[in-house]
């Protein structure tokens, strides 16, 4: 089977000049640093306690229990056959990963809806008025059950089901949540104590953060939309082996991280554009936005403390970094008529990663005989557009690279996600940040909890919000 390829020609100075591209000497200078990063990651990956403690358990997801995968595949098929609609409630990785899979891989399936990822009443309300609750299955995904967007949506949807379906409404709900604790787990356990078919559940695995969890919490969705989970996991596993290669110069994820790190640190390229030349991969680019931004956008450096055989990470409050490239999702060819103008002639502070597809699932030839387009396949036009975009960027000394997918299949899509996850892990090592936490995300949540009067909020958080109110001067509002 053909594998995904990484073409990084246009990241080097030979293509885009010494000022904007990576010199081979610059790459050689950090080979030792890369080897240390590889060695550190491997040491953590091979330690099951460290994986769970430091949120690296996602690296084991391609090697899941066969029987567990079979049971999820079977349940997904049953849900797809029985229900006309399936609503997934979740935010962050619990939404973006599913939406990416939906757009890239879905076959003939029930109508799939994604809610609980915002607080806009103009989406959930009309949806529930449109569809039949008796023909709808609901999957709620939340580790704690406390995230405001998902919790609010679930409370509305649960009441909607209960009103029409009656006392057995819980048989149309499945929760993917913490296996032991949390508000949602309590709801599941209470319902199950009364009826084992009500509020069935799957576990969110310990040590797997949301943005790295598509191969955990996303498996039921994949089964419902007709994807062979085993094929996807095989693609991820094949990529995992490539991305753990100790030969740094043959390791695509390590090289991707290294080159972008050098362009960021040495050349001022702090904006990362991911542009798939495939409409069905646009949501995959959106998923990558969270992965990169939440993993590497950190205020403080990572401080590693070793006690006995255990390695623990803390924020080094004495070393403020404010690190991280800013990701932007785009798509070819649509955004060649918008963002590309800035990429070509705007500030040269960006690196573009293209995703090319060699063979589409379907193809169309342009009809006629007398036009230059006549007889040309859309796939060929797409290839020329991507090639032309590369050429235009190189002419203006704008660094770019390409990920080439043979096809958009579960195997290759699984490999694509795992490639980006491993690349992000390596870049976290190079930046010396904790790529698996997200302390900055908690700020707005704590503000909302304080204003809503949530009990148990720590006193220091309450004091910070109380003593630092938002100040709005009317003269600056017109």
For residue 295, give Cα distances in angstroms to 38, 364, 420, 421.
18, 40, 12, 10
Q: Show which residues are catalytic.
A: 294, 337, 445
Distance separating alpha carbons of residues 54 and 428, to the nearest angstrom: 13
Interatomic CA distance for residues 469 and 463, integer angstroms: 10
**pLDDT in the model for residue 107:** 87
For the chain (478 residues), the mean pLDDT of every run of 10, in chain order, is 95 97 97 97 95 96 95 97 97 96 93 95 95 97 93 96 94 96 95 94 95 97 97 98 95 98 98 98 98 97 91 95 97 94 97 98 94 95 97 98 98 98 98 94 86 88 90 93
Q: Hey, how many other C-beta atoms are within 10 angstroms of the C-beta on 49?
A: 12
**Cα–Cα distance for residue pair 285/287, rounded to 1 Å:** 5
What domains are there in the chain, each with its CATH number? Answer: 5-54+229-431 (3.40.50.10490), 57-224 (3.40.50.10490)
Does the pTM of the predicted model rise above 0.85? yes
Q: Angle, to 10 degrees, between the axis of helix 229-243 and the axis of helix 252-267?
A: 60
**How are beta strands 85-89 and 5-7 bridged, if at all?**
unpaired
Interatomic CA distance for residues 438 and 55, integer angstroms: 12
User: Rounded to an integer, what is the distance from CA 182 to the centroid of its chain?
Assistant: 23
Predicted local distance difference test score (pLDDT) of residue 454: 87
Helices of type H across 315-377: 339-345
In this structure, what token pair is assigned to residue 407? 């096809």
pLDDT for 109 equals 87
| 211-240 as b/e: b if 16+ CB within 10 A | bbbbbbbbbbbbbbbebbbebbbbbbbbbb
Among the listed residues 256, 225, 221, the one whose alpha carbon sits nearest the alpha carbon of residue 416: 256
| C-alpha span between 447 and 398 (Å, rounded) | 41
Going by C-alpha positions, the residue among 422, 313, 61, 44 that lies closest to residue 206 is: 61
The radius of gyration computed from the CA coordinates of the chain, to the nearest angstrom, equals 24
Alpha-carbon span 315 to 112, nearest angstrom: 40
The reported pLDDT for the residue numbered 448 is 87
**pLDDT value at residue 131:** 97
Q: Would strands 200-203 and 350-359 be described as parallel, antiparallel, or unpaired? A: unpaired
Q: Which two tokens stand for residue 108?
A: 């003939």
Would you tell me how many other CB atoms lie within 10 Å of the CB of residue 64? 18
- Find the helix or strand (DSSP H, E) in which 158 lies: helix 148-165
Six token digits for residue 466? 């109380």
**Nearest of 232, 236, 223, 282 to residue 88 by alpha carbon:** 223
- Round to whole Å and give the CA distance between 137 and 158: 11
- Pair 343, 389: CB distance under 8 Å: no
Strand, helix or coil at 301?
A: strand
Nearest-angstrom CA–CA distance, 24 and 373: 41
**Closest alpha carbon to 299 in 436, 439, 423:** 439
């Amino acid at each position: 089977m053909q594998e995904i390829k990484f073409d990084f020609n246009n990241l080097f100075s030979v293509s885009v000049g010494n000022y904007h591209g990576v010199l081979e000497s610059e790459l050689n200078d950090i080979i030792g640093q890369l080897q240390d990063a590889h060695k550190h990651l491997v040491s953590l990956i091979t330690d099951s306690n460290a994986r769970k403690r430091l949120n690296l358990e996602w690296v084991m997801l391609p090697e899941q229990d066969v029987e567990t995968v079979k049971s999820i595949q079977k349940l997904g098929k049953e849900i797809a056959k029985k229900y006309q609609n399936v609503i997934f409630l979740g935010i962050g990785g619990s939404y973006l990963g599913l939406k990416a899979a939906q757009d890239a891989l879905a076959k003939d399936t029930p109508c799939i809806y994604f809610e609980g990822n915002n607080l806009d009443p103009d989406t959930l309300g009309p949806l529930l008025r449109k569809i039949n609750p008796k023909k709808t299955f609901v999957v709620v995904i939340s580790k704690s059950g406390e995230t405001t967007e998902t919790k609010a949506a679930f409370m509305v949807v649960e009441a909607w089901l209960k009103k029409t379906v009656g006392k057995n409404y819980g048989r149309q709900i499945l929760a993917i949540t913490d296996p032991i604790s949390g508000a949602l787990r309590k709801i599941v356990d209470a319902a199950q104590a009364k009826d084992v078919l009500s509020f069935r559940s799957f576990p969110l695995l310990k040590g797997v953060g949301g943005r790295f969890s598509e191969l955990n919490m996303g498996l039921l969705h994949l089964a419902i939309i007709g994807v062979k989970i085993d094929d996807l996991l095989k693609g991820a596993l094949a990529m995992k082996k490539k991305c753990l290669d100790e030969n740094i110069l043959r390791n695509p994820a390590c090289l991707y991280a290294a080159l972008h790190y050098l362009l960021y640190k040495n050349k001022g390229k702090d904006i990362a554009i991911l542009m798939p030349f495939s409409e069905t991969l646009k949501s995959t680019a959106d998923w990558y936005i969270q992965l990169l931004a939440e993993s590497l956008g950190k205020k403080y450096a990572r401080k590693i403390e070793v006690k006995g055989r255990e390695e623990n990470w803390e924020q080094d409050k004495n070393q403020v970094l404010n690190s991280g490239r800013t990701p932007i999702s785009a798509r070819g060819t649509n955004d060649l008529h918008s963002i590309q103008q800035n990429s070509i002639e705007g500030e040269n502070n960006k690196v573009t990663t293209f995703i090319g597809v060699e063979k589409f699932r379907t193809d169309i030839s342009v009809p006629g005989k007398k036009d230059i387009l006549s007889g040309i396949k859309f796939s060929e036009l797409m290839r020329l557009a991507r090639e032309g975009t590369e050429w235009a960027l190189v002419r203006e000394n704008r660094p770019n690279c390409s990920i080439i997918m043979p096809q958009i299949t579960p195997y290759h899509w699984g490999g694509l996600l795992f490639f980006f996850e491993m690349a992000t892990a390596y870049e976290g090592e190079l930046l010396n940040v904790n790529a698996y936490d997200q302390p900055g995300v908690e700020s707005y949540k704590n503000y909302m909890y304080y204003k809503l009067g949530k009990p148990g909020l720590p006193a220091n958080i309450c004091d910070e919000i109380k003593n630092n109110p938002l100040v709005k001067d009317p003269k600056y509002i017109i």
